[in-house]
Amino acid sequence: MSTELNIGELFAEQMDRVLSDSVSRELLISVENGQSADTLWNTLEELGFLLALVDEENGGSGLGWEDVEPTLRCCGRHGAPVPLPETLLANWVLAASGLALPTGLVTVSPALYQLDGNDKLHGGDSGVTWAPLCENIVAIAKRDANRYVCLLSQEQCQVEPQETLTREPTGALDLVGVTPSAIAEAPRTIGGLGLLPYLASLRSVQIGGALEELLSLCVEYANTREQFGRPIGKFQAIQHAIAELASQTAAAQVAGQYACRQIDADNAERGGMIAKIRAGQAAGRGAEIAHQVFGAIGFTDEHSLHYLTRRLWQWRCDAGSEFWWSERLGQKTIAAGADGLWPSIAGPTELRKTHALR
């Protein structure tokens, strides 16, 4: 059996080393207080992580979404305080639409905007993660039956700071009457929900990573914390709780992998929809179990647990909750009729490596 790592695993290993050396409680606190992790961001940029999904013709690595899934999961595991997932998505869409890639921090707005005949945007977004710190924002707008990729500088946007559970810099956008700094027709694979399914997939993968770290913390704590003269991990109730956390972690990670494979197969909405439903369920239950294992100490601000559980709770809501996506899945299932139900569950899914939008 071959032990060689593929390019995606090599990227993830390198990312893990960088984040292990860089992400600390002090850094997380500074970012939550509105500072940017410039040193970490510059390192990621120098190593080429920002262009992993961009095709080689545009200076990128030409990887597919399934290839970068381990790297995205690593970001979730460390709670990386930088908009790397959002930047990967933004650069991927910009390159595919023929627009020049901006320098500096960039994030995405998952809302679908209206574009009038004068190329002015109309609409808003109640919460765009990293918007207060990013120099550029990528959004999708529609005009008649067409979709357009829009690049905006932060200076063009009205960004109102918003509080979130992650405490990461987040802002509400008001883009009424704003003319994008660059605009191009969107690739045909961008559907009626714009970038929402893609961001849902990103959050699903991040959830899987955060749950993996939660599981590791719980196992370590259960083996070292003693009660009544023995480690609490010896108690059957704790063993059952950790076993369930392990199953929720595995389910979320498989869901994230499925979402990435579906994006590669030009089926982003189905992948993001199903993954976000399952990952959202795992996020809620996983955070609950972790706090039960740690008890009172896990609720203190000084403990590291909340840096993961707060992100799980926020990512569960970002890009549509599992309840929102479940309703949409139900509507699509009903619309397909009885004859379409079983094929949608058991039928073969063609997975084609595209590596870039078309």
Query: pLDDT digits over 62-77, tens only?
Result: 999 999 999 999 999 9
What mean pLDDT do residues 223-235 have?
92
pLDDT in tens, 86-130: 999 999 999 999 999 998 889 999 999 999 999 999 999 999 999
CA distance 355 to 272: 17
Higher pLDDT, 66 or 352: 66
Q: CB under 8 Å to 205, separation ≥6 — which residues?
A: 69, 72, 73, 76, 85, 256, 257, 259, 260, 275
CA distance 192 to 205: 22
Percent of the chain clearing pLDDT 70 (strictly above): 95
**Is the Cα dihedral 92, 108, 111, 151 positive or negative?**
negative
Structure confidence at residue 6 (pLDDT): 83
pLDDT in tens, 11-28: 999 999 999 999 999 999
Say yes or no to pLDDT of 354 above 50.
Answer: no
The answer to which of 127-136, 153-162, 279-288, 338-347 has the lowest mean pLDDT is 338-347
| 67-77 CB burial, b ≥16 within 10 A, e <16 | bbbbbbbbbbb
**Residue 340 binned pLDDT confidence (cut-offs 50, 70, 90):** confident
Q: What is the mean pLDDT of the chain?
A: 92
Tokens of 126: 């109640």
Structure confidence at residue 357 (pLDDT): 53
**Residue 349 binned pLDDT confidence (cut-offs 50, 70, 90):** low
Q: Is residue 158 within a helix (H) or strand (E), and if so which, with residue range? A: strand 158-162
Q: Provide the terminal-to-terminal Cα distance of the chain, rounded to the nearest Å.
A: 36
Residue 177's identity, in one-letter code, is G
Cβ distance 142 to 193 under 8 Å?
Answer: no
Tokens of 72: 């995205």
**Residue 358 binned pLDDT confidence (cut-offs 50, 70, 90):** very low
Cβ distance 252 to 176 under 8 Å?
Answer: no
Say yes or no to pLDDT of 142 above 60.
Answer: yes
**Domains detected in the chain:** 7-185 (2.40.110.10), 196-346 (1.20.140.10)
Beta bridge partners of 114: 122, 142
